[in-house]
């Protein structure tokens, strides 16, 4: 029982989500003694970390088919690691500072309530800042019984988290998406978007690996100079280029979103956003009661639809969605280019074999829009030796009517350094430029050669 000297009830506040406040509940007892004589109480927060680390090291041996005498510690230098070592995949509920090097995290036993769905967003954003970008929760909730509307919204929201699963308690009613037709349909639509964005996500995960920058980002992370966005935790960015504004309440068909800079009249600070699904430019509503325009916009969010917007100035690499990641990686590439108010955009793509611990062959592709008079040019420059055989299928450029020179009369594809020009098949649809049938120009692989596409 609680009392002075009982280490199960430490003399400080601890939020371990246990009603009794007994830190031995659902965990290793603090009075346990380790092999070297260390009391568990003294290293309680490190237990999950060390468990992940030893699991990681063990999996390196097992999945790389190393002999017992050739175990490579995760702390070894890169040069000493075996070329055939595969990346372990670990998900832990117990993490600590530095755990992101070895494991992802899932949020533990949540509840099947709207409150917990909202809470999952701040969880994901915080874990990204903790250095654990690969995070997810039990979609639709773990404890208690979910329902059709909640599960519909939650399966769509959770599809944007790196770790994505539906899981609940044995004594709860079944909540697989196929239990409700509307949830199955909404989930499929969300997963199509998720799998389309795999190249973008993989690039962001590599950035997180190299720099520590989170994959899912709070609005005040992307727009850090504006204190108004501190505490905004009901929407989030994926990288800097996509913004997700989910429906988080029962019985709604609209949701309020904050789109930083959209109401600014100064082009230096004005931001534009495009609807992911329709490719339409998001418009600023009429003046409010105070006679001014606002970055707060109410948007349609009927059940089965999760609003997603592309931020102007960004280039999003995509592939066709298939049943598995492996199958999706074998489809042709598409590029979605969202012009900002200056007609500019840039982006990046990172690829490797997807499983080697320290791949020697990688590919980084830089994308940028260049302007020369009335001609705008999309440029793709590759660096690295990893071969990508999949071709480029389509390039869609948003905002051409307002920011890209208007309707073009011709579109040219050419390899950089070559004098040979190839006329492209294109359509001008609702102010956007859609350039298709590019497979013939990239038959040796989408990014094997540097190339440019210009329109005027």
pTM for the model: 0.92
| Residue ranges making up the domain that contains 367 | 314-455
Point out the domain boundary residue: 145, 173, 198.
Answer: 198
386 and 446 part of one domain: yes
142 and 170 part of one domain: yes
Residue 360, in any domain of the structure: yes
Question: What is the tens place of the pLDDT at every residue in 339-364?
Answer: 999 999 999 999 999 999 999 999 99
Residue 161, in any domain of the structure: yes
pLDDT band at residue 285 under the 50/70/90 scheme? confident
Determine the pLDDT at residue 3.
47
DSSP code for 196: H
350 and 426 part of one domain: yes
- Phi/psi-derived region of residue 72, left when phi > 0, alpha when psi is between -120 and 50, beta in every other case: beta
Question: CB-hemisphere CA count at 13 Å for 367?
Answer: 26
Q: To 5 degrees, how large is the angle CA 361–CA 200–CA 224?
A: 115
Of 292 and 112, the one with more pLDDT: 112
Across 329-363, b (16+ Cβ under 10 Å) vs e yields: bebbbbbbbbbbbebbbebbbbbbeeebbebeebb
Q: What is the helix (H) or strand (E) element at residue 32, kind and residue range?
A: none
> Distance between CA atoms of 194 and 313, rounded to whole angstroms?
21
Residue 365, in any domain of the structure: yes
Residue 35, in any domain of the structure: no
357 and 411 part of one domain: yes
> Distance between CA atoms of 83 and 143, rounded to whole angstroms?
44
377 and 429 part of one domain: yes
284 and 349 part of one domain: no
**The token pair that represents 313 in the structure block:** 């100035």
Residue partners of 204: CB distance under 8 A and separation at least 6: 215, 238, 239
What crossing angle do the helices spanning 181-196 and 198-211 adopt, rounded to 10°? 60
C-beta separation of 363 from 382 below 8 A: yes
135 and 217 part of one domain: no
pLDDT band at residue 373 under the 50/70/90 scheme? confident
Residue 229, in any domain of the structure: yes
Residue 21, in any domain of the structure: no
Residue 11, in any domain of the structure: no
> What is the domain-level CATH number for residue 64?
3.20.20.80
Report the number of distinct structural domains present in the chain.
3
210 and 291 part of one domain: yes
- Chain position carrying tokens 């349609």: 300
421 and 324 part of one domain: yes
Decide if pLDDT at 43 tops 80: yes
193 and 216 part of one domain: no
Decide if pLDDT at 104 tops 90: yes
Q: What is the helix (H) or strand (E) element at residue 199, kind and residue range?
A: helix 198-211
Point out the domain boundary residue: 255, 289, 311.
Answer: 311
Mean pLDDT across the chain: 91
C-beta separation of 284 from 297 below 8 A: yes
Determine the pLDDT at residue 67.
41
The radius of gyration of the chain's CA atoms, rounded to the nearest angstrom, is 25
C-beta separation of 311 from 273 below 8 A: yes
Question: What is the tens place of the pLDDT at every residue in 416-445?
Answer: 888 889 999 999 999 999 999 999 999 999
The dihedrals phi and psi of 292, each to the nearest 5 degrees, come to -130, 160
CA dihedral 251, 254, 255, 261 (to 10 degrees): 180
> Distance between CA atoms of 357 and 170, rounded to whole angstroms?
36
> Distance between CA atoms of 274 and 78, rounded to whole angstroms?
42
Mean pLDDT lowest among 60-69, 217-226, 377-386, 434-443: 60-69
> Distance between CA atoms of 295 and 284, rounded to whole angstroms?
8
> What is the domain-level CATH number for residue 327?
2.60.40.1180
230 and 135 part of one domain: no
Of 99, 146, 158, 402, the closest CA to residue 279 belongs to 402
Residue 424, in any domain of the structure: yes
111 and 171 part of one domain: yes
Point out the domain boundary residue: 177, 198, 219.
Answer: 198
């Amino acid at each position: 029982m609680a009392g002075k000297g009982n280490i199960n009830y430490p003399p400080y506040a601890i939020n371990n989500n246990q009603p009794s406040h007994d830190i031995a509940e659902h965990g290793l007892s603090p009075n346990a003694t380790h092999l070297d004589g260390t009391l568990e109480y003294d290293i309680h927060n490190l237990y999950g970390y060390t468990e992940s680390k030893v699991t990681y090291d063990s999996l390196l041996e097992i999945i790389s088919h190393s002999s017992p005498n050739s175990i490579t510690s995760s702390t070894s230098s890169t040069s000493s690691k075996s070329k055939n070592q595969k990346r372990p995949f670990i998900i832990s509920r117990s993490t600590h500072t530095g755990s992101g090097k070895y494991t992802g995290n899932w949020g533990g036993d949540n509840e099947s309530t709207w409150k917990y769905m909202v809470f999952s967003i701040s969880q994901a954003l915080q874990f990204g800042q903790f250095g654990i970008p690969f995070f997810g929760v039990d979609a639709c909730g773990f404890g208690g019984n979910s329902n059709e509307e909640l599960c519909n919204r939650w399966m769509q929201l959770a599809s944007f988290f790196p770790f994505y699963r539906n899981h609940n308690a044995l004594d709860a009613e079944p909540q697989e998406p196929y239990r409700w037709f509307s949830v199955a349909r909404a989930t499929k639509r969300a997963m199509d978007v998720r799998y389309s964005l795999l190249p973008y996500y993989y690039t962001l995960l590599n950035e997180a690996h190299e720099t520590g920058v989170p994959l899912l980002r709070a609005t005040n992370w992307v727009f850090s100079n504006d204190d108004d966005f501190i505490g905004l935790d009901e929407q989030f960015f994926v990288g800097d280029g996509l913004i997700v504004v989910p429906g988080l309440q029962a019985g709604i068909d609209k949701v309020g979103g904050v789109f930083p800079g959209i109401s600014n009249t100064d082009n230096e600070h004005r931001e534009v956003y495009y609807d992911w699904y329709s490719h339409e430019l998001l418009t600023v509503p009429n003046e409010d009661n105070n006679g001014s325009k606002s970055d707060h916009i109410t948007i349609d969010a009927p059940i089965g639809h999760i609003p997603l917007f592309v931020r102007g100035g960004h280039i999003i690499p995509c592939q066709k969605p298939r049943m598995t990641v492996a199958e999706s990686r074998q489809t042709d590439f598409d590029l979605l280019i969202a012009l900002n108010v200056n007609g500019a955009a840039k982006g990046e793509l990172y690829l490797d074999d997807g499983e080697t611990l320290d791949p020697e062959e990688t590919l980084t592709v830089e994308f940028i829009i260049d302007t020369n008079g009335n001609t705008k040019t999309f440029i793709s420059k590759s660096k690295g030796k990893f071969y990508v055989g999949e071709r480029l299928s389509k390039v869609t450029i948003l905002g051409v009517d307002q920011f890209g020179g208007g309707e073009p009369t011709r579109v040219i594809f050419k390899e950089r350094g070559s004098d040979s020009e190839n006329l492209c098949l294109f359509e001008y649809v609702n102010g956007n430029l859609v350039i298709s049938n590019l497979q013939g120009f990239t038959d040796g692989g989408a990014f094997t050669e540097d190339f440019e596409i210009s329109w005027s």
